[in-house]
Amino acid sequence: MNIGISIVAEYRGLGIGAMSQRLLAERLHEQGYVRVEASTDIENLAEQRAHASAGFDFEGIARLAQGRADGVHDLQVWSHIPND
Ligand SMILES: CC(C)(COP(=O)(O)OP(=O)(O)OC[C@H]1O[C@@H](n2cnc3c(N)ncnc32)[C@H](O)[C@@H]1OP(=O)(O)O)[C@@H](O)C(=O)NCCC(=O)NCCS
């Protein structure tokens, strides 16, 4: 299961991103999903720290995996595995 998130601007930086992704990953595990994957732009420090706080592990870089308005970017790949 691959997840993504975007929080309304005025509610960012309050811990919601980390908490909600942790709770979602745990809920998905309860439903039988073993691997919960999330990826983010290599420049998105807020989401990288949110992944780490949520218990995700950094796995590596998916090169040139995302097209954005300003070009094609590398992505960080993270995963949340039960009892990891
Ligand atoms: C990325 C996003 C989901 C993070 O959620 P959030 O609720 O703002 O983040 P949190 O408050 O849970 O903070 C999580 C960690 O990121 C850090 N952080 C938060 N905003 C940050 C910023 N602008 N720059 C660097 N670090 C930041 C926090 O200090 C915290 O780190 P810590 O656990 O080491 O203390 C949210 O900011 C967002 O929706 N951004 C725009 C959309 C987006 O980028 N989505 C992800 C696409 S892959």
Res 63: pLDDT? 98
Q: Which residues pair with 55 in a beta bridge?
A: none
pTM equals 0.95
**Ligand 1 pocket at CB < 6 A:** 4-7, 12-18, 40, 44-47, 49-50, 53
Residue 75: partners with Cβ closer than 8 Å, 6 or more residues away: 39, 40, 41, 42, 61, 62, 65, 66
Residue 43: partners with Cβ closer than 8 Å, 6 or more residues away: 73
Q: Is the pLDDT of residue 84 over 80?
A: no
* Confidence grade of residue 75 (pLDDT, cut at 50, 70, 90): very high
Domain boundaries, the chain: 2-80
* Confidence grade of residue 83 (pLDDT, cut at 50, 70, 90): confident
24-67 pLDDT, tens digit per residue, is: 999 999 999 999 999 999 999 999 999 999 999 999 999 999 99
Q: How far apart are the CA of 31 and the centre of ligand 1, in A?
A: 26
CATH code for the structural domain at 2-80? 3.40.630.30
Token pair belonging to 18: 């980390």
